[in-house]
Structure 1
């Protein structure tokens, strides 16, 4: 069998109508069984370990599903494994099996799995909760390794630039930058630079810090955004040059700032699902802003408002008028364009707060632009 024919046989699944007339053997047959269990015509029932019969499916037994999860890791790379896990949970309703420790120990952790676990957290038995926390922690630590260094570098540079002053006191002069800024005024006959412009920094003090407020929508569609926002919140909280507040909301508001030292605690402090009251969340944030000109508010929401819409828009307008830099992210994830309330997005854009989806890789640049009060790097489309 040619490689092309083999691939078509795996795609088509081996039913009488697949048109290939060929059977698979060895590793290919095992791969076909794992695909049949999930994507076969009878995929909602049966056992993934029950042989190659078409429609074997994924049954409700955690041991059988755990074996299937082990099989797909044998045959497919991690990115494909994560996709198949997601399909198994979404297509076949296997969420309840994630409440069993042996199932959790078998899964390939990723952001979407964390979102599913968070949605189930209130129903988890005690013996499952610690296993679930270990799964979530693995994903969080991987994200921190990927995102923290770049966030600190990009945002730290922006904070330095925003703090720079051109009329510093003598002890606050940055002589290195001052000399480089005035090299065109070098007088060779005197062997010196005449500094027409002094560059320095304001004196370090708590009152000089930028304040960043992350307000995160807990509705079910925002699961991946909550994971990334919690990791970024922990990274920002570790930077001495900013103070960070993290607020999660549905129809109620929960301030998770005290838990920012551990994003896993933040995540298990959220509760996915329920209604959405953006206005109430913004009211809570607005009441705690003491230095508007040094504050950046980041609203992460699909903007489906269940509260008082006009009052929400008035709050955003009032915050901007007071000097707050306001950023609206429809999603903070690697997914495509999210579903969102276009009317509210348009209304916010009219107020000078454009709403757009943001990938985790772009988030440091968005925050740097907000801190420096320059145009945001809004993605096209």
Structure 2
């Protein structure tokens, strides 16, 4: 069997065996692992479904063996997709409450979201293993985002405190040259600057207040994970005063736990309703310096509270000078489902609502710190996607 036929045989499953041939060795094991997940049934002649003998069922030992098989035969990115599909398609959520199962899985953001949703019903003997799984994912995320986030935020803070009579070491040469291009001297082939633009002197004072307000309804699981890690990174920067607020129909302030993002994530409670208005009301009380404050609402905007009041509160924040950012999702999951009416209403207030990937979030924070036009930023993000 050539490579092309082998791949098609694995894609199409056992139904293609007669036309494409039989697999053997590792390929047969790969096919069996795929069939156990995706071939949950086949069609009879009358169109009804009949059960196959293969499958994962609800047997913990069988699932554990299957998890071991897919880790052996597939790359980690494929393993994570298959795990996520298994949890969704075969309702294996309850099996994740068993420590031996958690030892067998490949940790990723989606698995962390599932574990957080099970936090309240998880047995004590499972919680220690679950924390280890969450810790591994959080550490990987921090390594991925921390340096880029700190560099972007620090650069934005420096640019935001530009001065026009800088010391030589503080001159922003790129901006100085652009501002003085009209003074170019062709005969000397140089620019004679009439106005110097520089960075402000470094300071240990808090320059911006950042409030992350995160919807913890079930559909926002990946966004909750990324938000918790980003909040911990931002909280580690002395130039920022960072607050993290999560909400469903209740509001919980997790700011005092930002020293440990794992504790932050286990302080969330995925699922339940949504009261965005109540959450914004709480966050309004945290704003003491409007012109130096950035309010980031991360929500799909499906409001279960008082919609009109929610919009009035956002308008009040904007009018006071707060830089308001609304993210429909903070994840790699693609285009999110969201309330289009509420997004349009926010846009009419000058607050665009758009999705953002974790890799782009540092750029977004830099744009917010510099008070750039976030509508243009949102349009740029849409063009990228």
> What is the TM-score normalised by the length of structure 1?
0.89
- Displacement, 1:165? 2.7
- Displacement, 1:5? 1.7
Sort the Cα spacing of 1:205 and 1:137 in 2 relative to 1 into closer, same or farther, 3 A. Answer: closer
Q: How does 1:213-232 map to 2 (within 5 A)?
A: 213-232=211-230
- Displacement, 1:357? 0.3
2:77 is aligned, of 76, 79, 87, to: 79
| Residues 1:90 and 2:88 aligned together | yes
1:10-66 CA-partner distances (Å, limit 9, x unpaired): 222123x654252111111111111111111349xxxxxxxxx95410021222211
1:380 is aligned, of 366, 373, 382, to: 382
Report what 1:4 is aligned to.
Answer: 4
- Displacement, 1:198? 6.6
Report what 1:177 is aligned to.
Answer: 170
- Displacement, 1:164? 2.4
2:203, 2:258 → 1: CA distance?
23
Report what 2:286 is aligned to.
Answer: 288
Sort the Cα spacing of 1:166 and 1:56 in 2 relative to 1 into closer, same or farther, 3 A. Answer: same
1:94-115 CA-partner distances (Å, limit 9, x unpaired): 0000000000000000000000
1:64-121 CA-partner distances (Å, limit 9, x unpaired): 2111100001110001000100110000000000000000000000000000000001
1:133, 1:196 → 2: CA distance?
55
Sort the Cα spacing of 1:9 and 1:198 in 2 relative to 1 into closer, same or farther, 3 A. Answer: closer
1:114-169 CA-partner distances (Å, limit 9, x unpaired): 000000010000000010000001001001001110001111100111122336xx
Q: C-alpha root-mean-square deviation of aligned residues, in Å?
A: 2.2
Report what 2:26 is aligned to.
Answer: 27
1:270-302 CA-partner distances (Å, limit 9, x unpaired): 000101000000000001110000000000000
SS at match of 1:303: coil
SS at match of 2:274: coil
Q: Residues 174 and 200 of structure 1 are in contact (CA less than 8 Å); yes or no, is this contact kept in structure 2?
A: no
- Displacement, 1:202? 6.0
Q: How does 1:351-366 map to 2 (within 5 A)?
A: 351-366=349-364
1:277, 1:179 → 2: CA distance?
45
1:80, 1:128 → 2: CA distance?
26
SS at match of 1:6: helix
When structure 1 is superposed on structure 2, of 313-322 and 56-65 the one drifting more is: 56-65
Q: Residues 5 and 20 of structure 1 are in contact (CA less than 8 Å); yes or no, is this contact kept in structure 2?
A: no
Q: Residues 162 and 197 of structure 2 are in contact (CA less than 8 Å); yes or no, is this contact kept in structure 1?
A: no
Report what 2:14 is aligned to.
Answer: 14
Q: How does 1:340-351 map to 2 (within 5 A)?
A: 340-351=338-349
1:330, 1:69 → 2: CA distance?
33
Q: How does 1:137-152 map to 2 (within 5 A)?
A: 137-152=135-150
2:364, 2:171 → 1: CA distance?
28
1:354-373 CA-partner distances (Å, limit 9, x unpaired): 00000001101111001100
2:318, 2:201 → 1: CA distance?
24
Gapped regions of structure 1 (runs ≥ 5): 44-52, 168-172, 187-192
Q: How does 1:257-336 map to 2 (within 5 A)?
A: 257-336=255-334
2:197, 2:354 → 1: CA distance?
38
Q: Residues 10 and 32 of structure 1 are in contact (CA less than 8 Å); yes or no, is this contact kept in structure 2?
A: yes
2:167, 2:37 → 1: CA distance?
63
When structure 1 is superposed on structure 2, of 148-157 and 175-184 the one drifting more is: 175-184
> What is the TM-score normalised by the length of structure 2?
0.88
SS at match of 2:295: strand
Q: Residues 249 and 275 of structure 2 are in contact (CA less than 8 Å); yes or no, is this contact kept in structure 1?
A: yes
Q: How does 1:33-182 map to 2 (within 5 A)?
A: 33-42=32-41, 54-166=52-164, 173-178=166-171, 180=173, 181=176
Gapped regions of structure 2 (runs ≥ 5): 43-50, 186-191
Report what 1:170 is aligned to.
Answer: none
1:332-367 CA-partner distances (Å, limit 9, x unpaired): 000111000000000001101100000001101111
Report what 2:254 is aligned to.
Answer: 256
1:236-273 CA-partner distances (Å, limit 9, x unpaired): 00111111000000001000000001111010000001
2:121, 2:172 → 1: CA distance?
63
- Displacement, 1:177? 3.0
SS at match of 2:270: coil
Report what 1:50 is aligned to.
Answer: none
1:200, 1:2 → 2: CA distance?
63
SS at match of 1:13: helix
1:247, 1:331 → 2: CA distance?
16
SS at match of 2:210: strand
